Each structure stands twice: as structure tokens, then as C-alpha cells.
Structure 1
Amino acid sequence: MHALLATSIGVTCAAALTLPLAAPAPAAPVPAPGAHAPAASAAEPSGSTQSLPLRPLTEASPRATESVSPLARGLRQRDAHRFSLVGVVWDDADAELHGTVQVRARATGTGRWSGWQDLETHNTDHAADAGSAERTSGRVRGSTAPLWVGDSDGVEVRVRSGDSGPQNRAGGTAPLPEGLRVELVDPGDDPQQPPTAGDPVTVTPTTGTPATGTPAVGTPATVTPVTSPQPGALPEAAGLSLAAAESSAVNADLAPLGATEIPALSKAESEEQAVVAAGAKPFVGPRPRIVTRKGWGADESIRERAFAYTTTVKAAFIHHSATGNNYTCSQAPSVLRSIYRYHVKSSGWRDFGYNFAVDKCGNIYEGRAGGVTKPVLGAHTLGFNSKSMGIAVLGTYSAKNPPAAAVTAIAKLTAWKLGLFGRNPKSKVTLVSGGSGKYKKGANVKLNVISGHRDGFATECPGSRLYKKLGTARTSSARLQGR
């Protein structure tokens, strides 16, 4: 990959990270079967969720009276209020759905039905760790990965148990999980001032630095601030002063909100972070432009009021959202709002699962709330959420190559964020498993500092094509750190 340019901006506003909270809005009413939802109905400003139970299916007419199989559930073609994202959930968060989930959606306005599309069923590995407060809240459900279908007003669903599932006592395939229902998510309106690409910025190196836009090892960069940063975006900065300012501002917001404080660090971690904060280690990449939660229109009233933190960030796990690639970059904020609602309202998580997201055009977005410079505890890699961060690339990259811009964005983000905690993107790190299925609880696991989700769990995530690009991301990330 060609060399990446280091960019920088001036001052940020941390107020966009913590907004006043209100009571959650109720889910939108669902039209009765056969009753057409108004095709021109406007999206609700904060979004909405329709939850429809899945019934037993037969291959015969829906009026058939013969007994039905417990191995098939679904929903026949029906009208719905407008939605753009679809997922299937069930009651028991620990139950796995062994089989297939397929959906069809009818496009609003044209009335055209899509072909059948598969939902990724093995999504329980994107979750809070076992025993954590988030996991034991009593609200968490099992869920598929959600799928972005675009503006739609009709849906059809079929779920079938597969041959790969566990066998029951009678020797057949085990039944599907109880409480299956389809979730139809409307992302709501875009922010009044949607984020746009910022003006070009420059970093003026000190003497002795090659004119490549990247500071030489051990040479601090002089930041030339850009006036009037874009609304809803955290500006770029090469040094740690911006991170310190934001950290102070977010901490000030924690007290009145009754938020969870950062846990006490171990002696080694405290000394390490003190060295990094003091600027003794020069290996911190330039801060990239980050679209804040306010920038992509997160409804702060639906998440938990408090924040949760881990003690440090030792590694970054890269994911794909598995929501499909049929979105434009201008739709990325809507995709994020939809995933956010699905994680909180449908799956029962405390907040958006990933710490950051990246779209196909390379835009970087703040994910779970709590401060982008802080070690926010996510729900992205079951068993390894502690002391790590999760980055989701919007799309599905099992058979499609990720855009170069997205891989570059991963490099920029990890160079900066991992650098704040003294991590070398090309090195290894040992994490203690919280129990992931692939590794037993308490196991010491040696992983790359930039790992794919599949490295910590038996999953296809982040897709074979994206996984193959992680070596490039590690090299570019380290280069941006000046290594």
C-alpha cells in the first residue's frame, strides 16, 4: 500500500460525546396483516422498531390444517411501516440458531420485492463477555446479524433448522430457538447538518523530517490548526494534548450523569500510561477525523445512561458488520443508527456494540459512547472485550474485497488509538480469555495487536477478504506511528 499522509486539526468539542438523556421512545405500531402502511409516511426523527413474531411454516397453503414442523418458522408477505434494516432475534442469548435465515423486502415507492437474502446467523460471538453486567442484565437476546435492505415497506421471512445443528434425543435436528421474531428498524432522520469531508489539512514537520507528511521517528510534529471544523466531527491532531483535553471534558460529564468510572489501573498499566501521556514515547499516529455520535445522529435516550470502561487498550479486533454492501456512503449514518437501535432495542445491549465503525469510503465513526480517547468497554468480541477495542467495517467482506479506503482508515485509526496506549501495531500481545468457545475462560492467548474477530472466536468475521488485508493495515498503521 502506498504511504499514508498524516493529517492534523486543532481543537475538539467533547460535549458532542455526552448528550442529555430521556426516557426511551416506544416501538412503532405495526399495521395489521393486509392493511397497507402509508407508502409516503415520513421516518420518525429518532427511529423506530417493529417486532413481529415468526410463526410455524409449511410448504402448503397458509390455510393448510396439517401439523407443522418445529424446524421452520417465518412470516409470509405482509405490509409494514417503513424500515431499512432487518434482523431476527430470539429469547435465549446463549442459544444458537443452527440453520438458515432468509428475508425479502419490498422497496418503498416501487413495490418491487427483492430476492431472498441470507442473514448471518452466528452473531452470538458479537456480545458482552460472560458474567459482565451487560450480559447478565436480563435484557439480552440471541440475534442474527442485521441486514441493510434500504427503504422498504413490506417483508417476508423464512427460518429453517439446518443439518449442521446439534442432534436431539430422537436423532433429528434440534428445534429452532424459542421466541423467534423479526425486527424491522427505521433509522429515523439524518442529523440537520450531516458530516461532510473536511478541508485538506497539513502537518508541518520539524527540521530533519522528510517531506512525506509523516514525522520521523522521535521527531514531534508542529500542528497547524484548521479553523471552523465540520459539525459533528472530532478534528484531527498529531499530539496528545487534544486527547487530554477531551478526556478532562468527558470526565467532567461523568459525575452528574452518575456514570461508571474507569477501573483502577494496575501498577504496570499506570506506569505505562503515564509514560505515554508524558510524551516519552513518540509512537502515536496522527489523530484521524472521527464523526461523532452526534454527527451520525445517535439517539442518546435509548442507551444506558452510564458508561463502562476497561483498564487499557492492548489490541484492536477488526470486524465486518455483515449488513451487506448495498449502501452508499451518504447512507452510512443511517446504517449506523439502524445497527445502534438493533443492538440496544432488539438485542438488549447497553449501547452500540463496537467502539468504532468505518464505511466503504474510509470515514471513521465514533461507536460506543464514553470518549474516543478512553478505554471504553465494548460488546464486539465475546471473551476478549476487556482491554481491547472493536472496529467494524460496514459491509460484508466474505466474497467481496474491502475498499482500499476502508483498509487505510483502519490503519489511521489504530495508529492513533493504539498509540495512545503504547501499542505497536505489528507486535503481539497476550490477552486473558473471558471464555469464547474457541478459548476457555482464563486462558492466556497470544494474538496480534491488530487481530481479526476470527482470531478470538470460531467465526468467519471479518470475512476472508477483509482478513487478508490486515497485514497491510498493520504495516501502514506502524508507519503512521513512525516505526
Structure 2
Amino acid sequence: MRIHQVSLFGAACALALSLTAAGSTAVPAASAPARTSTLALVPLAGPRAAGTVLLGLPARATTGYSLLGVSWDDPAAELPGTVQVRTRSAGRWSGWQQLAADSEDRPDRPETSGARGATAPRWVGPSDGVQVRVVGDGPLPAGLRVDLVDPGDGPSAPAAPAAAEPAERALPAAAHQAPRPGIVVRAGWGADESLRRPGFDYTGDVRAVFVHHTDTGNDYRCSDSAKLIRSIYQYHVRSNGWRDLGYNFLVDRCGIIFEGRAGGVARSVLGAHTLGFNTGSAGVAALGTYVSGPVPQAQLDGIAKIAAWKLGLTGQDATGRTMLTSASNGSRYPSGTAHTFDAVSGHRDAFDTECPGNALFAELPAIRERAAHLQGRR
């Protein structure tokens, strides 16, 4: 996996995936090593409105990449303005695409000394050119850079998830425990385990699932899902400065469920997905952008399956409610404040964000009902 960093100064594969299924085998992590190149931002010529800052990168060729985003030094700093990018693929330039100004999925506290602020990443597919412009009406944060991520060599997504591994069912019995869905483990999507920080952090029982969208765009094939997840993993660690991928699980448009943050799919792994409420919860991200337009039914079913199973491990009703205590003033609720959430909630329920998009958020009641049915409660 390679990541190309562009400094902004001025303020499908043949390998089969390893599944957590009986008889499955692991495949090696992506063999291509990480690689970084740095390009400086320059002031862009041309007319501009009074009081605006216009910085960017003129159109230029790059080495290959498939995902990009912008990050800056201070993880607490906001980026006032907009970031737009154009990319080149097969000799043709795309139109301008706007990146979300703030990646709103984050840990409750910095996980490494290299934590950074960042936009949401955008999947653009195999590309070899880039153009950037950043427009703001105030000082831009220091250390702005564009990261161009090449997912490297590794497996692609399978046609369908496999059955659960019987050994993983050896857990304390809980009422209304849903069937365990097939989950593509980290080896299956080609995670480079040397990239993440060693060790794991665990919390108390998972009592809530927060649903997200990755906001990476919908222009991907399911056969590219593993590449997309490898790219997000690289971005979360190298660009955001997190210890590992932020989400506990990811679900693609074909309904395939992937293990996110390492530590065990049946364990209460502390993620970096819902500021203030990462403890006692699991973050499930839909691969894609769902501000508008329909969410694929297979993806909705996949989210319901993983939510039903994860909540059912401790007997939590998927249509019930649970109380969590905020760990950050950056959330909707001051640190130390207890708030009652639906067991299946959207990211926007805990943080001032559009995530998981209006289209996916509107589907949460149906996801809860489907999950409760899988738990045998309906």
C-alpha cells in the first residue's frame, strides 16, 4: 500500500479473501510497501474575491493512486472554506469534486503523537494526475497537505460473505442473540498489520451501534471494496494519525461485511468513529456517500445483520435504547453528560454532522426492525 503526501504550505484481483468462516484461509497483506512523495502548494493566479485565500496545486501528473484527501497539523483546527480536487484517469480529467471540510469520525482523545485534522477521503479509482484548490475567507490551518493513497496489491471482495466460524460462537449465552454473519477479516482485505499501532484498547459491553457513511463516493465496484478499505485504513493511520482504522466494521454496497479496527470482531474494541461516544459502542460504516439517493438494499441488510449480532452478544434489543456518557465536549453533549440513544443510532445523533447522510439516516428505523427480527424479537 502506498500513500503519496502532497504538502500544502501557506497556512478485480485473483486472490480470494480470507473470511471468518469454517475452512477459510488467510491471505498475505498487501505486498506493495507504503510510499510517500511531497509536492508544495503555490498561490494560484487569477481573480479572487476580497478577503479570500486561494491556494492550490496546478494540474500535474503523479504516480498512481486511488484515494485522496487533505489533512493539516492541528487535529482541533477547522478548515474555513472549501477544498476542491480534479483527478486524471486514463488520460481524462474529472470535473471538480468538493471534499467534506472536516472528517467528523474521530477518537475521543489523540491516539498517537502524530494526530492531524483531515477532510473526509474520496475514492477516485486508479488515477495518475491531480489538481487542487483551497478557498477560504480566513487563515488556513498550518501544515495543509494532500495525501494520494495507492491501496497496493492485495485481495478483492468476494461475491458473498461466508458462514460464521463455529469457534467464534463460544461466547456466554445471551437472550435473543442473532446469528453471526459472515465477516471478511483483516487478512481477507489485505490489512498491513505493521502499519497500525501495536496492542488493543477495549471498553465495556457494546450497547449501541453508530451508523456512518464513509463519504468516499459511490463510484466503486464491489470487487474494489477491499482496495477501498485498505485506502481508508492507510488514510486513517498516516493522514489522521490514528492508531488503526477508525470503524469497527464496514459494509459495502453488495452487503459484504468487513472487520475494521483490529482486536477481535466479538470483542468490545474501542474505535475512533463517534467523538465522545466511542466507549460502549461499535461504529458500522456504509462504504459510500448517502446524502441523497437510494441506499442499496443489500447494504442495508448487511448493516442490520452486523448490528443484530453485535448488540445481541450482550442481549441488547436492536429496537431498544441505552444510556451512554459523553467523553468529549466536541460531541453534541458536554463531557460527563449522560444521554439515552437508540441502540442503533446515526452518527448525527451524537455529533453535529450530516453523517450518515439523509438517505441512510432515513433507513435507520427499518434497520432496527430488521435487526430485531434477526434477534428473534419480531
TM over 0.5: yes
User: 2:59 is matched by which residue type in structure 1?
Assistant: Q
Change in CA separation of 1:475 and 1:147 when aligned onto 2, cut-off 3 Å: same
Q: Is the 8 A contact 2:207 2:343 kept in 1?
A: yes
Question: In the alignment, is residue 178 of structure 1 matched against residue 106 of structure 2?
Answer: no
Q: Take 2:267 and 2:23, find their aligned partners in 1: how far apart are those partners?
A: 15
CA distance change for structure 1 residues 452 and 51 in 2, over 3 Å: closer, same or farther? farther
Rounded to whole Å, the distance in 1 between the matches of 2:42 and 2:23 is: 50
Q: How does 1:30-69 map to 2 (within 5 A)?
A: 45-59=32-46
With normalisation by structure 2, the TM-score equals 0.88
Shift in CA distance, 337/278, structure 1 to aligned 2, threshold 3 Å: closer
Q: Aligned partners of 1:356 and 1:278: how far apart in 2?
A: 22
Deviation string 1:169-212 (CA, Å, 9 cap, x unpaired) is xxxx4311111111000000123xx45235xxxxxxxxxxxxxx
Match of 1:366 in 2: 259
Report the Cα offset of residue 136 of structure 1. 5.5
Contact 2:157–2:223 under 8 Å retained in 1 = no
Which structure 1 residue ranges, 5 or more long, are not aligned?
A: 1-8, 21-42, 62-67, 162-172, 199-232, 245-276
2:53 maps to a residue whose letter is L
Over 3 Å counting, the alpha-carbon distance change for 1:10 and 1:92 in structure 2 is closer
Partner of 1:236: 164
Alignment of 1:73-472 (within 5 A): 73-107=55-89, 110-123=90-103, 125-130=104-109, 135=110, 137-161=112-136, 173-191=137-155, 194-197=156-159, 235-236=163-164, 242-244=168-170, 277-279=171-173, 281-435=174-328, 436-472=330-366
Q: Work out whether residues 85 and 131 of structure 2, in 8 Å CA contact, stay in contact via their aligned partners in 1.
A: yes
Aligned to 1:223: none
The Cα shift of 1:242 comes to: 2.3
Gaps of 5+ in 2: 1-19
1:236 deviates by 1.9
1:402 Cα offset (Å): 1.0
- SS of aligned partner of 2:133: strand
Deviation sequence 1:142-194 (CA, Å, 0-9, x none): 00000001111100001111xxxxxxxxxxx4311111111000000123xx4
Q: Which has the higher strand share?
A: 2
Structure 1 distance, partners of 2:151, 2:266, is 27
Task: Check whether the contact 1:351–1:369 (CA below 8 A) recurs between aligned residues.
Answer: yes
**In structure 2, distance between residues paired with 1:10 and 1:139:** 36
Distance 1:12 1:415, change over 3 A: farther
8 Å CA contact 1:58–1:69 kept in 2: the answer is: no
- Residue type of the alignment partner of 2:144: L
Give 1:443 deviation, angstroms: 0.5
Deviation of the 1:51 alpha carbon: 4.2
- When residues 49 and 421 of structure 1 are mapped into structure 2, their CA distance, relative to the original with a 3 A threshold, is farther
| Alignment check: 8 A CA contact 1:46 1:187 kept | no
**Larger-gyration structure (1/2):** 1
Secondary structure at the aligned position of 2:209 is classed as: strand
In the aligned structure 1, how far is the partner of 2:57 from the partner of 2:200?
A: 37
Secondary structure of 1:149's match?
strand
1-structure distance, mates of 2:23, 2:376: 24
* CA displacement, residues 10-58 of structure 1 (integer Å, 9 cap, x when unaligned): 6477x959x99xxxxxxxxxxxxxxxxxxxxxx9724544443433333
Equivalent position SS for 1:197? coil
- 8 Å contact from structure 1 (residues 319, 390) kept in 2: yes
Query: What TM-score, normalized by structure 1, do the two folds share?
Result: 0.70
Q: Which residue of 1 aligns with 2:4?
A: none
Question: Take 1:175 and 1:459, find their aligned partners in 2: how far apart are those partners?
Answer: 23
Q: Deviation string for 1:82-116 (max 9, x for gaps)?
A: 00001000000000112111100010xx2100000
Q: Distance in 2 between matches of 1:366 and 1:242?
A: 14
Identity across aligned pairs (percent)?
Answer: 49
**Distance in 1 between residues matched to 2:368 and 2:298, nearest whole Å:** 15
- Answer whether contact 1:439 1:456 (CA < 8 A) is retained: yes
Shift of 1:309: 1.2
How far did 1:69 drift? 6.9
Shift of 1:118: 0.9
In the aligned structure 1, how far is the partner of 2:202 from the partner of 2:69?
28
Q: 1:374 to 1:234 in 2, by over 3 A?
A: farther
Give the AA of the match of 1:451. Answer: S
Output the amino acid matched with 1:332. Answer: S
Quickly say closer, same or farther: Cα 1:428–1:12, change in 2 above 3 A. Answer: farther
Corresponding residue SS for 1:83? strand
The answer to whether the 8 Å contact 1:56/1:69 transfers is: no
Amino acid at match of 2:354: E
